[in-house]
Amino acid sequence: MQDYHEQNNTNLEYSKYKEGKPKKSLFKRFFLAFVILAFLVIAAAAFIFKTGFTFSQISVDLNGAGGKLPIEQPYKHSDNDRINILVLGYRGADDPSGGLLSDSIMLVSIKKSTGKVSLISVPRDLYVTVPGTDIKEKINFAHAYGEEKKPNGGGLAYSKAIVSEVTGQYIDYAISINHAAFKEIVEAVGGVDVYLDKPFVENEQFTNEIILNLPAGKNHLDSATALFYARSRYTTSDFDRMRRQQQILLAVKDKILSLGFLANPVKIFNLMDIAGRNVRTDMGTGDIQNLIGLLPKLDKDNISKKVFDTSPEGLLHSTTAQNGAYILLPVSGNYDKMREVCKNIFN
């Protein structure tokens, strides 16, 4: 009888142990799930805050403080199947030697239905009439003039207006990037790789800073070398420089879209910091989100490229202005041929 009671007590204690163990385990699982959820919520909140803060830094309202500028694009209707983004590169406002001149002018076009992408480079020496004025100047002056009229955004508006006139395209958005941003972005992605068909030497333009001597084949460029490579033109030409700028832009694209980079939140946050300090755009938060949503659909391996130059297919010829400056003009006397190329860039 005693054995029975002892056995019964033992079974009862074992039963309590069995009942208690799952409760403890369930609590642990609940606590772990709570910690993970809390971490994800905090991380998401931090990312949203960081993203919102960055957008507030880089976004400019062209119709906001200072009033609306007295210019408009000549082509006022966008193509529902096409997005045109004007990318402007300039040295920086702190450079006293024309630091606000946009020496890099590139139109990035996206055809939404097919995912095709094109890069169209307009040379800085194209001689134009500054929108809304009678001033005849090189096209890179439009950005500097606009920034003088309305700092922190006016350059985007004037550049959009003149590039729209030249290309015959409605420019949906514009982005300006200074040299500091260029170097920091290249550094943030760990440098870029470029492939050369033949050796490249620049021993005239930057003799006080660097001499470029790159062999044929694959070259890994750090941030400083990449900037010199993108700026070099003395031993070649401004047209070749535009091709190198396209090459660097695509190399940066390859790095940013690589799986390892996009999976690293530290690197993404670093890029946001760089953008906040040195990039300006008239895109809003929703516009940027829509573009990000298009990324998976883009044909990133077959990007078409066009450089307007003085070759037979380049549609431009060189001459001098009244002040003796080197300038470029359309061979046909107007922009019709250039507009036709831009219109049919995806065909």
Helix or strand (DSSP H, E) at 204: none
What phi and psi, each to the nearest 5 degrees, are found at residue 339?
-65, -35
How many domains does the chain divide into?
1
Residue 41 falls within a domain, yes or no? no
Of the candidate ranges 36-40, 51-55, 225-229, the one whose mean pLDDT is the lowest: 36-40
Lowest mean pLDDT among 41-55, 163-177, 205-219, 223-237: 41-55
Compute the average pLDDT of residues 61-82.
76
Asked whether residue 18 carries a pLDDT value surpassing 90, the answer given is: no
Amino acid at 10: T
Per-residue model confidence (pLDDT) at position 64: 59
Residue with more model confidence, 22 or 184 = 184
Mean pLDDT in residue range 76-80: 80
Is 49 contained in some domain? no
Distance CA 42, CA 262 (A): 19
In a domain, 7, yes or no: no
Of 42-46, 47-51, 107-111, the least confident:
42-46
pLDDT band at residue 27 using 50, 70 and 90 as cut-offs? low
Q: What is the pLDDT of residues 130-151, one digit of tens each?
A: 999 999 999 999 999 999 998 8
Please indicate whether residue 241 or residue 20 has the higher confidence score (pLDDT). 241
Per the domain annotation, does 148 fall within a domain?
A: yes
Q: Is residue 316 part of a domain?
A: yes
List the single range of 42-56, 126-140, 230-244 with lowest mean pLDDT.
42-56
307 HSE (CA, 13 A, CB side) = 18
Q: For the residues 192-196, what does the mean pLDDT come to?
A: 95
Least confident of 27-31, 131-135, 254-258: 27-31
Residue 166 identity: V
**Mean pLDDT in the chain?**
83
Range of the domain at 219: 82-343
20 within a domain of the structure (yes/no): no
Give me the CATH number covering residue 119. 3.40.630.190
Terminal Cα distance for the chain, rounded = 97
* pLDDT exceeds 50 at position 259: yes
Q: How confident is the model at residue 42 (pLDDT cuts 50, 70, 90)?
A: very low
**225 domain residue, yes or no:** yes
Nearest-CA neighbor of 43 among 268, 323, 324, 345? Answer: 268
Q: Is residue 31 part of a domain?
A: no
Position 49 pLDDT exceeds 70: no
78 compared with 128, residue with greater pLDDT:
128
- On the question of pLDDT at 17 being above 60, the answer is no
CB 249 within 8 A of CB 185: no
Interatomic CA distance for residues 55 and 326, integer angstroms: 39
For the cut 70, the answer to whether the pLDDT of residue 232 exceeds it is yes
